[in-house]
Chain A
Amino acid sequence: MPRFSLSAVGADRPGIVAGVSGALVDLGCNLEDSTMTILQGYFAILLVVSAGSSVGVGDLEAALAPVASRFDLVLTVRLLGDAQLPESGGLADAVPWTIAVHGADRTGIVHGVTSALAAEGGNVVDLSTHLVGSSGAPVYVMTLRVTLPAEPDPAAAAERIRRAAEALGVHCTVHPDESDTL
């Protein structure tokens, strides 16, 4: 069963999700993982859909064309291959951590923190940012869920990432994601 990535972005209006999902239902597609949210007044959809074996990119684009036109959406559809996780990255054994960053907005906060993360062999699982505050004093708030290699010392790696963030002039805290299975 082929799987496709689908992204759509347009000025936020009521009915976008209903319209996009309706076109997908009519084509017999199944919405798998999705992220949909408002970014600075634009509604952004990113999802993975599975479809019948006869469905191709052109079919999806044609089915979505009316809703894309109606809501003035920038739409992209791509056929996905099988996801292949890097064998050597130790991602399966990695441990989850949460990183919180906030401070005066400046260029390079995301790049600085994620570069420090990559240098530790860490991986971004989930990330969101919010630009808030006033136009004269903009504040950047970033929260990440990441994984860090289980060996040799994820706490030390997390501390190095925290220091790299602080070197950018923003406040940063890191803590392991702990959960109890009940």
Chain B
Amino acid sequence: MPVRPVLVLPHPVLVTPAVAVGVVDEAARSLAVDLVDTMRASPACVGLAAPQIGVGRRAFAVDVTGHRKARSCHGAFVLFDPEVLERSQPELAREGCMSVPDLTGDVQRDGALVVAGLDPEGRRVALEVDAFEARAVQHELDHLDGLLFLDRVPGPHSVFPRKVYR
């Protein structure tokens, strides 16, 4: 069952900090497959964090391949226990989230960063990401801390309904 349902607000897993994976075992590799499969099954989805599919573990998938706002692009990748090593250049842009399907928001994110973690083979990797890939990584990192873009907007005029009429 590689494609999993994506949880939406107000599911409690989405606002709960995830716990470290520690060792990349079969269960972790299976989680990596589910993250990528679920991300690919969802049109326009460029990233998915484990809590969004109900798994409270520190893991996410990102793939910004072909996106017009992307500069750096590492293809589809999964990181376990990710941490930010360097960050720079805040930029404001609008983003949405599969777990908050009705709203979008303007959020300031660092324009470039170095993120390190374990890949599905258990090797430690460090990725330099910028532009849209950097934004996607930071959005997924927030999910691991139980935070949504709604928690990052600079004020009431930075939250927008996707559709005014439903």
Contacts and interface: CB of A to CB of B under 8 A. Distances in A.
Interface in B76-103: 102-103
Interface of A is mostly: strand
A126 B151 contact: no
Contacts, number: 63
Interface residues of B, number: 22
A98 B102 contact: no
A38 interface: yes
Interface stretch (B49-57, B120-128, B153-161): B153-161
B10 interface: yes
Contact of B159 (A41, A104, A130, A177): A130
Interface residues of A, number: 23
A3 interface: no
A104 B8 CA distance: 11
B15 interface: yes
Contact of B156 (A41, A127, A133, A139): A127
Contact of A126 (B15, B155, B164): B155
Interface of B is mostly: loop
Contacts of B8: 133, 139
B153 A98 contact: yes
A100 interface: yes
Contact of A41 (B10, B147, B155, B165): B165
Contacts of A132: 9, 102-103, 161
Contact of A173 (B103, B151, B155, B159): B151
Contacts of A127: 156
B62 interface: no
A145 interface: yes
A144 interface: yes
Interface in A164-181: 170-171, 173, 177
Given A130-B103, A133-B10, 14 more contacts: A41-B165, A102-B10, A126-B156, A128-B159, A132-B102, A132-B161, A137-B10, A139-B9, A141-B150, A141-B159, A143-B150, A143-B153, A143-B158, A170-B10
Interface of A: 38, 41, 98, 100, 102-104, 126-128, 130, 132-133, 137, 139, 141, 143-145, 170-171, 173, 177
13 contacts: A38-B164, A100-B150, A100-B152, A102-B10, A103-B10, A128-B159, A141-B9, A143-B150, A143-B155, A145-B155, A170-B10, A171-B151, A177-B154
